[in-house]
Chain A
């Protein structure tokens, strides 16, 4: 595996550093891990598309030298879907934030998962709307403070991986910006997975989440990740009380027996061109 310095030189577009993320923001770590994964999987730049929505993390697409699009708030998945349909041979990697993906883009998430279309979705979960200055998202832990929750949030948060799995995702994984090697590993596996994969990257927002929630020091947010992230194998052995407040990391779910969507669509084309409308299946 190439070193990070070499990967930055190789994959960053010239003149894009320093990036616009705040001091201590974990998005750079997630993007670095993604570059490591892409490189380790031996993907050619021309064969990779990185499509993002809107939000802090979605700025990542502009930094890297692939076929890239920084689209609209919540709409990275439909645009990725259309591109994958047009160019199934492309490795389409969709970048989205917690608000982008689970709130305004929530409907697209469950349907992309249901179709099992071969996209690799990376959700940068920093538990907050960062770009707009610290409003709560559907992934903000209940009881957090946010600019739109001055009296603390009363809304429970989604487990976005459980949501995606229930909707039909065939690969789910989670890691954090503390657990970088694990993050790289699950990104690699997610890219390799043929159907729809979702990787939740738990990342810190010291500026807009941390300051409001007694985690203002960037390193403190990583320490929090270290203390709360539990490897899947260990997680499986914990009883309910021991799991309280913690979350599993690693590959949480994978199945490979379901056909990927664009491949399934090829069968429609075959049937249509054979001149027979499907007898009811």
Chain B
């Protein structure tokens, strides 16, 4: 049985988190993500979970990491300024491999920017926000129903791969109300728990790759498996070890832990790309306009399509490369001055032309605006022929 609701994206995140089995939330109020905190404050205790409004953004993610060490699925949410403040702790979660979900409902930035206007200016921060080489996952929903689904998926991926997962939203998706169908019961929807040790506490090595998956088993604090967590470079015992070999081994495992599983992690959507000559590349809120615009362009005889990365990090390099092999132009549309486009260019490597439609004036593109960009791209292609 299910129920049909009119719901805001931020509220759908809350329901997705509850369904996924998130039972701890620590966070600080910040527009345009605050409804997530408010929703969690109401919903978590109803299901026996706990919500904390922390003293600042750092404590928000700090409590999340602490709860996760205790074995509880945990989440926080914020917007750009708070996302910046959380970065050091996100690095700690990468290094110590502590599962957690961080929602960033992007606003226009930098600094206070424009809190109630949409932007995708944090897309590179989501990948490279914390210092040092590191590897994590980011997913970006384009609709309210997808907020529910991708929040669940974010929790699942964080537990499965023991890494932070960023749910990168934007103000449009967070605040928009849309039809959503939710199951009456969330039974059976909880994300699978992180892998537990299958050895005795005496034999447990907290960072040993025991099954070749590169993802070590993680015991809950208090479960009888006593282990050590550190943000220092460490070896498989979990204790600091800074030799060149230990450092390289650690970095290699953290990198390949995600690279080896890209087929499972990286999700994308193709819309009418089969015979497309011009493919719009867009994610999150920017992709919403594109479905309709692709149809409009097709009605004019332009062979247009849409490629939507759902997992935005790791970057869908192979899919983009394959696309570039069979199409003529990739039109990257993003709500910033051009960040993701560089990633696309580096994957395409001249196999197709790459154009940028950057929208950074507070407003999502209208269908007409995007259509005009497609027409321009069409002219260039035809002119080149």
Contacts and interface: CB of A to CB of B under 8 A. Distances in A.
Interface residues of B, number: 45
Nearest to A78: B62
Nearest to B71: A86
Interface residues of A, number: 43
Which of B64, B65, B70, B224 counts the most A-chain CB atoms under 10 A from its CB? B70
Interface in A89-146: 89-90, 107-108, 110-111
Interface string A69-102: 1111011011111111111011000000000000
Contacts of A74: 58
Interface in B62-89: 62-72, 74, 88-89
Contacts of A28: none
B50 interface: yes
Contacts of B226: 45-46, 65-68
A70 B234 CA distance: 12
A65 B61 CA distance: 26
Chain A interface, DSSP helix/strand/loop, else mixed: helix
B67 A86 contact: yes
B242 interface: no
A272 B40 CA distance: 12
Contacts, number: 146
A218 interface: no
Interface in B250-303: none
B59 A61 contact: no
B63 A78 contact: yes
29 contacts: A51-B66, A61-B228, A62-B239, A65-B226, A69-B230, A70-B228, A70-B229, A72-B88, A75-B62, A78-B60, A78-B63, A78-B65, A79-B69, A80-B66, A81-B62, A82-B62, A83-B66, A83-B69, A85-B50, A85-B67, A86-B24, A86-B66, A87-B70, A111-B59, A265-B45, A272-B45, A272-B46, A273-B48, A277-B42
Interface of A: 13, 45-47, 49, 51, 54, 61-62, 65-72, 74-75, 77-87, 89-90, 107-108, 110-111, 265, 268-269, 271-273, 277
Among all A-B residue pairs, the 4 with the closest Cβ atoms = A82-B66, A78-B62, A86-B70, A82-B63
Interface of B: 24, 26, 42, 45-46, 48, 50, 52, 54-56, 58-72, 74, 88-89, 92, 96, 220-224, 226-232, 239-240
